[in-house]
Structure 1
């Protein structure tokens, strides 16, 4: 029996530290530290961060070239299955849509702002970028939508592929190598850098990645006691929303690096969530062709039924997008 299994059987008085696996980046450490603090409060146990290097952290290739799907995740999952850590924190948008049977997404906490943001020189907004402006992004999804938006505005921009952590990407603008970069609002918020933002990009212009802004707390399926405690971190509305988005991604047979954007908005009548609107987009890199559709549906009061409804909506929207030619815009699909 490995150590993870034995931990599941220990009594509530166990004070051994819980080992939380995390990537080494500044952002990953910040968001894992926030989760660790909450887990300490929930369990009354110490939580230690275990830094793990993933293939996506060491490769300098573009994410689209190395596959994107799972490159920031596999090493953490291997450590979970080997009993080297008790739980792991992921950026949900990095997770493959197929969940392994021996691992559980025990909690998806309340989501941060899912939007993308522009950080541009001289406080510029996207609409005011000069002709020939160089805009950095490592995301085919952003590239497609930014180019489409620029075409609609009559702007002449060049999207430039970039890699690196948040500080590296912001440094390209500070050094004058790029006029702007596009990043996720949630990441900047978690490291206290929202002050660098010159424009929040509304979803009507640029839909975020499926699951963007949300975290996933994962542990071994055998660790029933820890799963039960971590469930207290779960936000059912966030889970329902990201389930719809990730089901759309899976049904399109697209990986994490495909040019797919998705966002599920939960609409409330007073204090009661009654309806979900799911929007999806797939686009060609040059922005000349976009397939962008949406669907709405009721949100049941039961958390389990809400997730089931999210799955149905994701499949329905994917089918409609494929009927409109989305498959031809995604390059190599994940089968």
Structure 2
């Protein structure tokens, strides 16, 4: 392929890490690319938590619109931000490797309490804007107070350091990809089977126009079919549940060496309602997502 591929991306540090990573993958195939930075609704509205922003895809829609207008040739998204139904004319063409899918709790050392669950003091104020994280945190620790927090990772850590929060929740993948220095904080890394992450957390999604076969053929060369197999199940549960970023739903799937699928899921009707947790195993993907949703309801 001779043309330079235009990659649509958000401008946050993590989004740019993801876009540069994609550029390196394309470069290894001998393909040149350039980044086109696009501001999304989610970037523009920083004062509201996710559940108060209207609609779905508020970190993806503007980039998808640019794709449809042919201003960019492909988009790089955090797969967990991407709605499960593709807009007319677009396709989810490929996915990346999966970084650590777990969430982590970063605690201000002044708020550590020995003997308390997660080492977090009683009545602590925890920062997160995710309904899923709120529901599962309250399920483990009903005594804590939850407070919305937005902004990039360094901004959030600054707020934690200055005492606005006793602890904050972050995705481990973002912390590791940005090589964030967490020295001086107490870090609790959750097991994704117990504190269940968002569907496809830790995976990048490469989106194209459906009819752009040359770009789609290129991206198939970097596609991770093994990752797609498990994340397809996670995202199908989300789709069947009719959910987006607002829904307190975590789904995590692993495949064992024998090819069996193991799914852990946690769902609440609202962020402050009781959480239902399930674990299902199956030798096939046939109706697995349907069985997971049925068990959750």
Could you tell me which residue of structure 1 aligns to residue 222 of structure 2? 233
Could you tell me which residue of structure 2 aligns to residue 50 of structure 1? 36
Q: Is 1:174 aligned with 2:161?
A: yes
Give the gaps of 5 or more residues in structure 2. none
* Alignment root-mean-square deviation, CA: 1.8
Distance change (3 Å), C-alpha of 1:286 and 1:235: closer
| Partner Cα separation in structure 2 for residue 157 and residue 62 of structure 1 | 18
| Preserved CA contact (<8 Å) 1:92 1:215 | yes
Structure 1 position 287, deviation (Å):
5.4
Could you tell me which residue of structure 2 aligns to residue 87 of structure 1? 74
| Partner Cα separation in structure 1 for residue 171 and residue 130 of structure 2 | 11
- TM-score with structure 2 length normalisation? 0.92
Q: Secondary structure of 2:31's match?
A: coil
Q: Secondary structure of 1:247's match?
A: helix
Could you tell me which residue of structure 2 aligns to residue 281 of structure 1? 266
- TM-score with structure 1 length normalisation? 0.82
Q: Is 1:144 aligned with 2:135?
A: yes
Structure 1 position 257, deviation (Å):
2.0
Structure 1 position 247, deviation (Å):
0.5
Determine which structure has more spread, i.e. the larger CA radius of gyration. Answer: 1
Q: Secondary structure of 1:108's match?
A: strand
Q: Is 1:59 aligned with 2:42?
A: no
| Preserved CA contact (<8 Å) 1:106 1:230 | yes
Structure 1 consecutive aligned stretches of length 4 or more whose deviation exceeds 3 Å? 123-126, 194-197, 284-288
Give the gaps of 5 or more residues in structure 1. 1-11, 300-308, 323-335
Could you tell me which residue of structure 2 aligns to residue 292 of structure 1? 277
Could you tell me which residue of structure 2 aligns to residue 303 of structure 1? none
* Residue correspondence of structure 1 range 324-335 to structure 2 within 5 A: none
| Partner Cα separation in structure 2 for residue 27 and residue 259 of structure 1 | 23
Structure 1 position 68, deviation (Å):
6.0
Could you tell me which residue of structure 2 aligns to residue 302 of structure 1? none
| Partner Cα separation in structure 2 for residue 49 and residue 79 of structure 1 | 13
* Residue correspondence of structure 1 range 126-205 to structure 2 within 5 A: 127-151=118-142, 156-193=143-180, 195=182, 198-205=187-194
Q: Secondary structure of 2:97's match?
A: coil
Aligned residue pairs total: 290
| Partner Cα separation in structure 2 for residue 280 and residue 257 of structure 1 | 16
- CA deviation map 1:238-265 (0-9, x unaligned): 1011110111011111222210011001
| Partner Cα separation in structure 2 for residue 191 and residue 127 of structure 1 | 24
| Preserved CA contact (<8 Å) 1:241 1:265 | yes
Could you tell me which residue of structure 2 aligns to residue 316 of structure 1? 291
Q: Which has the higher helix share?
A: 1
| Partner Cα separation in structure 1 for residue 88 and residue 182 of structure 2 | 41
- CA deviation map 1:39-81 (0-9, x unaligned): 1222x22211110000110013211011462000000001111
| Preserved CA contact (<8 Å) 1:20 1:85 | yes
Could you tell me which residue of structure 2 aligns to residue 103 of structure 1? 90
* Residue correspondence of structure 1 range 212-291 to structure 2 within 5 A: 212-269=201-258, 274-283=259-268, 289-291=274-276
| Partner Cα separation in structure 1 for residue 56 and residue 280 of structure 2 | 26
